[in-house]
Amino acid sequence: MTYKILFLDIDGTILKPDHTYTETTIQAINAARQQGVEVFLATGRPLHEISALAEAFDIHSFIAYNGAFALHQDEVIVNEPIPQATMEQFIDKATQHGHELIMYTRDKNYFTNLDQPFIKQFINIFGLKENAAFTPAITDKVLGATILNVSPDEIPLYDVTSNFRFSPVHVNGTENCYDILRKNVNKGYSVEQILQLLNITREQAIAFGDGMNDKEMLEAVGEGFAMGNSHEDLFSFAKHRTTSVTEDGIAEGLKQLGLL
């Protein structure tokens, strides 16, 4: 099989728990690229927060905001903000029940509260730089959002429409945090749009991920790899299981496919 495209999650896939990456990972990605494989970063993070990593890996194409925005070189492929009315419902729920929200736009991360210790911890864990206090003026521009300080049994409070699901953030130190995901706009949806645009078959596509926000992406490609450190529920959605991020899981997976 000639593989043409590679989609890589960031946290827990490229980045280790200490938010560093190994030289082996860089070498593996470069080796795939040298064989004609185009590389995309595919993350829940906002686009404006991954520029340093993209530069370090010389990657210029992205799926961000858990699939609500996708960019191939300089061409926008997907741009799907959360419907404003639904976002307003989520904000009301958070206000009523003492939860907090982070709302990600193209330019900034907007917080319902910037003073809480657990919010400061979240900002520190992900190294978020472009932070601001929420203002209603941005409610129609939200591409992705995360609920903080919410227990698992409170998540059903946010079932305001059947098109959404809630994925636990799979990073150490982010307990009781859930990404708001759409069933029809997610990483898998963006993968499908990109494959169609570039005339690449599903069988020629590879993806690596570790969290439940990667589920649709791993299903949308021919060769889906769950990292050894993945959320336990993810393995059933992946064709392959590789080693953990600290054991160079991307390199080990690419070896399985004969790319290394």
- Reported as a single tens digit per residue, the pLDDT across 125-159 is 999 999 999 999 999 999 999 999 999 999 999 99
pLDDT (tens digit, 9 = 90+) per residue, 79-119?
Answer: 999 999 999 999 999 999 999 999 999 999 999 999 999 99
CATH topology match: 5-80+185-256 vs 84-182 = no
Query: For position 171, what pLDDT does the model report?
Result: 87
Domains of the chain by residue range = 5-80+185-256, 84-182
Query: For position 74, what pLDDT does the model report?
Result: 85
Separation in Å, CA 109 to CA 34, 103, 176, 177, 182: 35, 6, 19, 15, 19
If you classify domain 84-182 with CATH, what class do you get?
alpha beta
Query: For position 198, what pLDDT does the model report?
Result: 96
Angle at 25 between CA 19 and CA 28, to 5 degrees: 160
Q: For the chain, which residues score pLDDT lower than 50?
A: none
Query: For position 1, what pLDDT does the model report?
Result: 82
pTM of the model: 0.93
Query: For position 38, what pLDDT does the model report?
Result: 97
Q: Distance between CA atoms of 203 and 184, rounded to whole angstroms?
A: 22
Query: For position 170, what pLDDT does the model report?
Result: 86
Quick one: 5-80+185-256 is in which CATH superfamily? HAD superfamily/HAD-like (3.40.50.1000)
